[in-house]
Amino acid sequence: MLDPIYIIDGARTPFLKARNAPGPFAASDLATAAGSALLARQRFLPEQLDEVILGCASPSPDEVNIGRVVALRMGCGLKVPGWTVMRNCASGMQALDSAMANIRCGRSQLVLAGGVDALSRAPLLFSDPMVRWFAGWMSARSLGDKLAALKKFRPAYLAPVIGIMKGLTDPIVGQLMGQTAENLAWKYGISRYDMDAYAVESHLRVAAAQDAGHFADELVPLIDGNGTVYGADDGLRRDASLAGMAKLKPFFDKKYGRVTPANSSQITDGATWLMLASEAAVAQFGLTPLGRIVDSQWAGLEPEEMGLGPVHAATPILQRHGLGLDDLDLLEINEAFAAQVIACLRAWQDEDYCRKRLGLEGALGAIDPARLNVDGGAVALGHPVGASGARIVLHLLHALRRRGGKRGLASICIGGGQGGAMLVEAL
């Protein structure tokens, strides 16, 4: 029996949709704002933390070890180590898993862990020809050498390379993440209507959750340098409809595709933190946990079908604990793409896939839609890559407590062909 890992508290910023320009906050600003508010309401001092672990898929060049940068900015002191982890879309969940490992081996008792990304600030890069030309220019010494270098310059060299497009392209199979969703749509016969209907439902659920105050316990408002307050997730489209969704053209496969920006997760900025503690720390500081992380699992699969990662990561956890999908009160599957979530649901109902790929005796079964992503997901909220894995764990615990549920599973697909999952219990 593994020692329990308790989640004491958590907080996140509003998720702010990228709008083709750098957002108002750097990644460290986001993480510092959410983390400082979370630490301020604890029964211990920031410098009493054993470590700070932050997941980030795209830190800026001046914040490479952003975990340490933010730990210092939050006032944790010089002696509290801060470090950064990266597992693409599951970086925030990896931070939680790393905290669990250190607590269980006795290195830490109290850890602040989470994830962040400011994807609106992903860089524009120079092309290789431009870099080579610039290297030649810098090595030119005489006026003649510089004039010769100028003659070799071509205006096309100035065409920027969009950093986020490179980051969202799998280098092994050469496909954008959206193209991997198209692969799953073809594999499971997922129609454009299926995707758009799922996306509309995500927006409707987020709208209902906002109106009911279901995110209130999570959110820390942001204030920029001009005094503008950002108090809520702003990617929500309250007017989302099938008719509106149908107007958008496929983006990743323009001729035959079905995946559009509207039925995909949004490019977003945001941060999420959770406070993890051992049983000894709970007793020492008199803490009252929200819940506990029971188990976690990572899995690998084909990069071109990375969206099925939740199936491959969650299934071993269910097997270890003798659980079926019906034994879970709630589930969170990160909505990288509507097609990807639908594919996961269909894979669990596919007897052949479950036998050959998951080693099961038959199909695992269907998930009740009323227990999946009950307050919507990344299609409506956005997907700040480093933060999403932590967000779904935090929200799952709040949703379980609100509904009187006990057991839940959070799972996420990971670019590169991986999946991550965590089994939690509300207390």
- By annotation, the residues acting in catalysis are 89, 383, 413
Helix (H) / strand (E) element for 9: namely strand 5-12
- In 3D space, the residue among 219, 20, 224 whose CA is nearest the CA of residue 119 turns out to be 20
Q: What residue ranges in 72-198 does DSSP mark as E strands?
A: 82-85, 110-118, 124-125, 161-162, 169-170, 175-176
Q: What residue ranges in 124-267 does DSSP mark as E strands?
A: 124-125, 161-162, 169-170, 175-176, 222-223, 229-230
- In 3D space, the residue among 40, 38, 31 whose CA is nearest the CA of residue 11 turns out to be 38
* Burial (CB count <10 Å: 0-12, 13-18, 19+), residue 360: middle
Can you tell me which residue has the tokens 């609100």?
402
Please give the full DSSP string across 152-187, using - where no structure is assigned.
H--GGGGPPEEHHHHHTEETTTTEEHHHHHHHHHHH
What is the CA 57 to chain-centroid distance, rounded? 9
Please give the full DSSP string across 382-401, using - where no structure is assigned.
---HHHHHHHHHHHHHHHHH
Can you tell me which residue has the tokens 């020692």?
3
- In 3D space, the residue among 89, 92, 26, 99 whose CA is nearest the CA of residue 54 turns out to be 92
Beta bridge partner(s), residue 331? 372, 409
Contact 300, 408 (CB under 8 A): no
Contact 275, 10 (CB under 8 A): yes
- At 333, list the tokens: 């599957």
Contact 194, 346 (CB under 8 A): no
**Cα→Cα distances 39→113, 130, 275, 396, Å:** 12, 46, 9, 21
Give CA–CA dist 400/242, Å, rounded. 30
